[in-house]
Chain A
Amino acid sequence: MERIPILRMGRFLLVTIQVDMHDQLALTLQDDLTERIVKERAKGVLIDISSLDVVDSFIGRMISNIAGMSRVLDAQTVVVGMRPAVAITLVELGLNLAGVRTALNVEKGMALLQGAAP
């Protein structure tokens, strides 16, 4: 079955979404990440969406869900690399990703996670 790879870097999990995900693939990622947070006792999740040229309400909801679930499991989520056109479109669509921490790039996102779980 097709899956988005999840890498572990110390106490953090790293996901780089590089394909245009169909809805089932997004749901699988959500489930896989939740399981890995528990299994690896991760303190943070970094999701790099710099390759995504579209984030619709389904993917937006998946991002919010992952942030919410990781919070409940004592981990932080940071979403990095959102393209400007995607940000403009998301807000106009009506999604503001409330409760989701964001950073401009992977380096800044990692710094955020390390600051949140020193």
Chain B
Amino acid sequence: MASAEGIRVESRDELALRTGEDVVRLRQGVRERAIAVGLSLVDQTKIVTAASELGRNTIQYGGGGTVSIETVANGSRRGLRLEFVDQGPGIADIGLAMKDGYTTGGGLGLGLSGAKRLSDQFEIDSAPGKGTRIAIVRWKPY
């Protein structure tokens, strides 16, 4: 991801995620950046939707946190990378949390699995008591 070889971060914005209004701001910020990177309308919609799911999770399960919105490039290829970080209780069983329909919060259980399907790259790092970090990337096709 950002630390991986060859990927360069061109711009970076950070937003706090505490309230439902922050998720609205996140959607707007991701949309603006996705347009700037040159993603198609469908790809913009996919990454904004994934951002909305993950942002809500950060607030609901992580007790709030931050998101970093990054314009990235790998050679001539550009993309949008989002990294969600919280210091919440963490996820004990990531495999289970990634399953469609599994939820501990009364939702549909599509947030994590759906966000992964809507992204080109998905990375999750979490352990009980250690918080959660999730990064996704959507690349502009060549």
A residues neighboring B (CB under 8 Å): 20-25, 53-58, 60-61, 83-86, 88-89, 92-95
Stretch at the interface among B46-54, B63-71, B83-91, B129-137: B46-54
CB distance B118 to A61 under 8 Å?
no
Assembled-state Cα–Cα distance A94/B110 (Å)? 7
Q: Which of A22, A57, A83, A92 is the one whose CB lies under 8 Å from B108?
A: A57
CB distance A94 to B27 under 8 Å?
no
Assembled-state Cα–Cα distance A4/B120 (Å)? 35
**B117 nearest in chain A by CB position:** A92
A-contact bits for B81-113, CB 8 A (1 contact / 0 none): 000000000000000000010000001101101
CB distance A58 to B45 under 8 Å?
no
A-contact bits for B19-53, CB 8 A (1 contact / 0 none): 11101100110010000000001101110110011
Q: Which residues of B contact A57 (CB under 8 A)?
A: 53, 107-108, 110-111, 114
B residues neighboring A (CB under 8 Å): 19-21, 23-24, 27-28, 31, 41-42, 44-46, 48-49, 52-53, 56, 100, 107-108, 110-111, 113-114, 117-118
Q: Which of B46, B100, B108, B113 is the one whose CB lies under 8 Å from A61?
A: B108
Take A92-B117, A92-B118 as given contacts and tell me if A22 and B21 are in contact as well, using a CB distance cutoff of 8 Å: yes
B interface: dominant SS: helix
Take A22-B24, A57-B53 as given contacts and tell me if A93 and B41 are in contact as well, using a CB distance cutoff of 8 Å: no
CB distance A89 to B24 under 8 Å?
no
Q: Which of A24, A54, A55, A60 is the one whose CB lies under 8 Å from B20?
A: A24
CB distance B27 to A92 under 8 Å?
no
Closest approach, in angstroms, between the C-beta of A70 and any C-beta of chain B? 19
Assembled-state Cα–Cα distance A18/B40 (Å)? 23
Q: Which of B28, B31, B48, B108 is the one whose CB lies under 8 Å from A95?
A: B108
CB distance A93 to B27 under 8 Å?
no
CB distance A61 to B107 under 8 Å?
yes
Assembled-state Cα–Cα distance A24/B23 (Å)? 11
CB distance B20 to A23 under 8 Å?
yes
CB distance A89 to B45 under 8 Å?
yes
Q: Which residues of A contact B27 (CB under 8 A)?
A: 20, 54
